[in-house]
Amino acid sequence: MRDLKYVLKQSYEASRALVIGINDYENASPLGYAVSDAEEIKQILIDEIGFDAENVISLLDSEATKNNILKAFHSFTSEDIQVDDRLIVFFAGHGHTKTGFRGEVGYLVPHDADMDDSSSFIRWDELTRNAELIRAKHILFIMDACYGGLAVNRDIQAGSSRFLKDMYQRFSRQVITAGKANEVVSDSGGPLPNHSVFTGHLIEGMRGKAANEHGVITASGLMAYVYTKVANDINSDQTPHYGQFDGDGDFIISAPEVEALSEDVSKDIDALISVPYSEVSRNNNTLEEKVDYVKELLSSQKSQIKLNDFVVGELRRFLSLTSEDNFASRGSFSDEELLERLSSYETYSKDLCAIVGVIAYWATESEHSALNKIVSRACDRLIESESGLTAWINLRWYPLLLVLYHAGIAAIESKNYESLARVFYTKLGDSEYGNKENLFVQNLSSGILELTRADIFKRIPGHDKHYTPDSEYIFKQIQPLLDDLFFLGKSYESAFDEFEVLYALVVADLRKEVDGYVWGPIGRFGWKYRSRENSPFSKVVAEAEALKDRWPPIKAGMFGGDYNRFEAVANEFKESLNRLNWF
């Protein structure tokens, strides 16, 4: 199945909602403000957020029976629902928790529920399981009820940033509940009259208090805002529970700037937004545990052997996942197969990219050998000749390109140019056909150049008119992981640009040494060169000129450790930029 990020739009087609509020129960104690909560949320969705009234289903009091709720929810599984739709499900009423031998099970209590018969409740995971039948790319559940058994994770860490348009193209299922099991929902006393504490703060957040500096309100930002407000409200004894149970996108509630984003498709200008998570209480996953373990090993000079063993294990896993068994070099070419391979390569290399990034960020000289081992062993099979389709053979370099970008940007962010130099200049084994280019960046750039010449990256949807489609694609693809690892925020773009400039100049320098002419891969900094003095390329050159042999990349041994050598190649490369027809 094709990765959804290749087919989803950077917008919504239709906005839909199911809004439920129950004050009066047949067999349970009444609530005071659940109906007014639901009615107010409905009006906000229609009047302020732009939902069409005919797309909002409302069930209040006696209308909100178990059968009616499930029937309304299942109506969203219709073929009329498009993949680029969004859906909000709001429930205000009683919640219930039962404990089973595998843990807590959470329920919603409909109007006609029998409190002594759990079969008359609506089990929470019945909704989550059936959510996979709904084609809408973004679903947000908002439950003003307390119950347990809610399995969620928070893949976005505190202070993370995300690209707004990118979130539209990532699948997501998110939820926030008013509280956890055995907590009492405060049905009054909130910041707004006639509303519960939870929904009162929710309403204020939706009306703008959860917006970031650009006026953007995402589900993640709203959940963080409501969590903080409810948990600290003097009238509240509840702690909201929130997170994602599927996907890594983000429901966009309001984005006033999205229409003003650049329409120039030749370059991918986007809005980087902050995700103000209030706290991190995440479920550990395999990748997080690996990252924590590597950090622990790097903190001790006595752990080099353990680090080496761990790196070897991860390398073997990576090599197995990306082997010929999964990525045959023979076979016909198609755009669909290309997108499948890109997505699979990204999935299979994610752990190794994170590990390399962490090592490059914190490594001292004693750990640099781990970087060399990762790069050299991962490339061993790529430097030998192989028959097959040229596109598939050269695409095998793509995971190593991701590894390089993660390592390079991490090293630049931490000013660890020694790590960057070790990765750039990793010596690879000699190939059977005597290739003169035996350094990592030489081989990698040559493989990717063949893909560029064949316009392979232009086949990615939305990238056909970009000047530098590979750079534009990677720019967004790797940002979430790097931001989670290092909290880069708005410094991500400058670190990315500096890395690409150094990568290009190092390749150009080596090409000049071997072949006598200058060429290096031009990334996003190429079209940014239109501003000349303020461009990323000019900034790197100016910094080098000011410091000369004291410039950190020179001190780290790049360009032969000679500023004059750097200056010569930079001047020739600048002439190449001047000849571009991009500005």
Q: Which amino acid is at 367?
A: E
Provide the token pair at 35: 């109906």
Domain locations in the chain as residue ranges: 4-274, 286-487, 500-583
Question: Class assignment of domain 4-274?
Answer: alpha beta
Q: Which residue in 17, 121, 135 sits closest to 73, CA to CA? A: 17
How distant, in Å, are the alpha carbons of 161, 168, 569 from that of 464?
26, 19, 31
State the Cα angle at 475 between 520 and 364, rounded to 5°. 75
Q: Are 352 and 374 in contact (CB under 8 A)?
A: yes
- For residue 325, the model assigns a pLDDT of 82
Give me the half-sphere count of Cα atoms (radius 13 Å) on the Cβ side of residue 553: 27
Could you identify the residue written with the tokens 């529970």?
241
Return d(Cα 573, Cα 583) in angstroms, integer: 17
Q: Which residue in 507, 501, 352 sits closest to 439, CA to CA? A: 507
Provide the token pair at 379: 């490339």
Could you identify the residue written with the tokens 């059936």?
130
Q: Are 76 and 136 in contact (CB under 8 A)?
A: yes
The full length of the chain comes to 583
Return d(Cα 248, Cα 232) in angstroms, integer: 28
- For residue 559, the model assigns a pLDDT of 97
Element (H, E) at 128: helix 124-131
Q: Which amino acid is at 25?
A: Y
- For residue 149, the model assigns a pLDDT of 65
Return d(Cα 19, Cα 151) in angstroms, integer: 23
Could you identify the residue written with the tokens 């055995």?
182
| Cross-strand partners of 177 | 143, 241
CB 160: neighbour CB atoms within 10 A? 22
Which residues are CB-contacts of 119 (< 8 A; sequence separation ≥ 6)? Answer: none
Q: Are 275 and 156 in contact (CB under 8 A)?
A: yes
SS3 category, 272 = strand
- For residue 180, the model assigns a pLDDT of 66
Angle between helices 469-477 and 440-453 (to 10 degrees): 120
SS3 category, 89 = strand
Q: Are 274 and 212 in contact (CB under 8 A)?
A: yes
Q: Which residue in 178, 175, 179 sits closest to 140, CA to CA? A: 175
pLDDT tens, residue order, the chain (583 aa): 456 677 778 889 999 999 999 999 999 999 989 999 999 999 999 999 999 999 999 999 999 999 999 999 999 999 899 999 999 999 999 988 888 776 788 899 999 999 999 999 999 889 988 999 999 999 999 999 877 766 666 555 556 778 888 888 888 999 998 886 655 555 556 688 888 889 999 999 999 999 887 788 999 889 888 988 887 777 666 778 888 888 888 999 998 866 555 556 666 667 787 766 554 433 435 788 899 999 999 998 888 899 999 999 999 999 999 988 889 998 899 999 999 999 999 999 999 999 999 999 999 999 999 999 999 999 998 987 778 899 999 999 999 999 999 999 999 999 999 999 999 999 997 654 445 568 999 999 999 999 999 999 999 998 999 999 999 999 999 999 999 999 998 899 999 999 999 999 999 999 998 888 899 999 999 999 987 778 999 999 999 999 999 999 999 999 999 999 999 999 999 999 999 988 6
SS3 category, 399 = helix
Q: Which residue in 450, 449, 448, 468 sits closest to 458, CA to CA? A: 468
Provide the token pair at 506: 């190092």
Helices (H), 235-303: 286-298
Secondary structure tally for the chain: helices H, strands E? 21, 13
- For residue 133, the model assigns a pLDDT of 94
| Cross-strand partners of 274 | 161
Phi and psi of 486, rounded to 5°? -125, 5
Helices (H), 283-416: 286-298, 304-321, 335-362, 368-379, 390-395, 398-413
| Cross-strand partners of 146 | 179
Return d(Cα 520, Cα 518) in angstroms, integer: 7
* Biggest CA-to-CA distance, the chain: 86
Return d(Cα 488, Cα 486) in angstroms, integer: 6
Q: Whole-prediction pTM value?
A: 0.78
Q: Are 153 and 244 in contact (CB under 8 A)?
A: yes
Return d(Cα 451, Cα 394) in angstroms, integer: 7
Return d(Cα 309, Cα 121) in angstroms, integer: 52
| Cross-strand partners of 97 | 106
Give me the torsion for CA of 278, 281, 286, 287, rounded to 10°.
Answer: 20
Q: Is 29 exposed, middle or buried (0-12, 13-18, 19+ CB in 10 A)?
A: exposed
Return d(Cα 16, Cα 564) in angstroms, integer: 62
Provide the token pair at 550: 């004291």
Q: Is 542 exposed, middle or buried (0-12, 13-18, 19+ CB in 10 A)?
A: exposed
Q: Are 439 and 423 in contact (CB under 8 A)?
A: no
Return d(Cα 106, Cα 97) in angstroms, integer: 5
Q: Are 265 and 466 in contact (CB under 8 A)?
A: yes
